[in-house]
Chains A and B, each alone.
Chain A
């Protein structure tokens, strides 16, 4: 029996299983239904109600969540108490009646508070308008989206402060800003509008369900485009489709000064490696990091710290995370020398697992039968005292951890969560306690209605908040957007959510821009560009403007284009029909130049000059065998490519390929050095996980993991190379593990002082980097 047999066997399973898996998802809030209660429910309300309408209250509040705001903690306590009673009765999960009665008193507070917040916003806005703008402000004021950005640190901060000072009124997370986000999104006027949207959605589903109870529907992934949505999308396409074509080629080699990108910060200057990130100055969390003194690892669901102050791995301790910030699983972490931020998630406390192993070993437990209100946690530790991290606090945010960024001491936390229609009449759903049960919360506080952006669909969404790391319980801002799925790119001035949609078989990418500054997150512009973004580095912000490389997924006539968008995401120029029939595999923008790799059987590396936003021009192209999956600026005149070598005739893979491109003349790009690691196969590092690649031109080294064919075995191998113009790529380390080890796929290479470490969840190997050209020696432990 082989895995192919299993694949084929799956082709013969019952149709009902396929239908079930293809059906739309009722989001994440699963009913906990004892058999008797379920029977009553089914008989009384019909099957479809269970499928679409009835959701339990939100009751994942930890004790830690209840310490900050009295206004919200009362509701949470009532909710928790009601839940315990609910548990004791082993009853169907509905909004507890007792809690609802208590909640009724707070009903009138909602509009009052919103009116107050709106007034505060308007007042602040008036102050801003009255202020004497300087030259920089004048420039920004020209664009409506940048007006929103200009609120940062000024108006909205005042509004936030007033919100927190308001006596007796409900406290909300998030600061109201611009109402519109492109044509398709707008901030909710109040919670009632959100309720109405969810109810309309639910009613439509019921109707669909009633019409065709067995019809499999999987439209949720791409979204069933409503009439309104279709028209809007068509308009988007029409706008983007009329972009000016690229003008004639620019005079060769003129004016294209090549700048370089380096991510060397204070850490590298201090002699230790940092995580490879997309945007300089915007840090990204990872599973393994170092501060030069310790190696911090996400390990077996927790965090371990290994002392490396002696230049080799010493004592390892497990981080003690207090109960209030307890996580079922740690996902990633930040360490910046003075603080450690641990990011993870937890399920409701009554069903939490203490370790990863518990989950794996608990064979009989069904972790999904309980309501799964995943909550993301950011626990903060002070690292001032070496070897003794001091817990200083935590932040909580509804939803499962998606990604995060850290700029200075500001943490931007992205979670995926939905908003589910409560099983209440509208007036009851808008009471303060009821809102606590169905509106997503940051630090236990519901997101303000006018920070929730609605579109035609209300399936699921992304919640982004900003939290100051020294005081994580104080939410600076929060925004929620309904969007089924979106990739995230965070530039230095704005964060962008983008996702693919289809309209009558045509693929396009919708981009939503959220400018940010010092924790304030504004609603910016939105756009739709044809095709899909194939590489994480194919989108980049530069001076507030955006560049994207997109590819149509067409079969025989794949088309690539490079589109330039201004601050308002209006197209200023594009290059069309690049590498007809090929697909973008890797991209990198360096200053006003774009480099990108397309591939079919050979690898053209293109260079394009973007210095004139209205007239981007292809400058040069180099065609060699194979292709690069990852590009990294090495110095002002060189670009490192890591990818694969292939047979140009057959396309057969031959191994991992390293290429150093000479880009001193973008018109005449050269492959200065090439090395093929024959027999090596790629890894997640090469294919998609840029954070698993270490690149340090300052140290003249780069490292990544491959799978190496050794005899009949495929063994994990960590590779480190240096490069110089004379000798090309010089092997410094080829650390091949003796046996198959899946953990090694997620290893990281780090250095501190003169020691290089290869670390995974369970192991750390140390190597003396020496001071010459020799390969490195393993340091015995």
Chain B
């Protein structure tokens, strides 16, 4: 690992100053479960590390004013074992607890999972289907960006060097029902071959998939079809056909393109059958 300067600011302002001062040479350190591996393998060579975990306000899960807010430093285990999340958004809790091992989840964060922008980020599909907003802080103040506009490509987001994600929020909606699927080669401690979250609420259907495109994606055509038709065995079948064509998976070490398209059909069918 290359030599680094380490800072652990206690305020957002201080963290921003460090990012501004060091520019491209600085990396934000949150849970570290990706960054430290990348540093060890020489894929990331930051000269300066800005550890944001000493900033107290980033550690909260807040439920107020009809919104749920997940702070940047909330660990996956804390999210997955949060009583309110388990009761109202079990599919999000399940997604959080499906990542890595218990040891990894004690360090890794949901926001880190989002900011890494892996195509198969497990917490991305529930948050995409929840229409979550990413809260981004910079010298210009706070801005929010819908999560579906946050991802750009594999491991690329719209985030600029001098910005910090402070958290992610979504509307607290009693009508939401959701189903999360993670298809992987083994039961625990594995990456998703395909992951998905299908939500049904008063506002309609929201369908998101991971590991089927360069970024986690919403399947808008599939959603439109579902919103325009009454759920039945036939419409489910047709929705699954549309979804399997709407995704753009590749073949890789975990599965072939064809297998992924089939898994999209199977998981969407199983999700929708919950509500038939």
Specify whether A and B are partners.
Answer: no
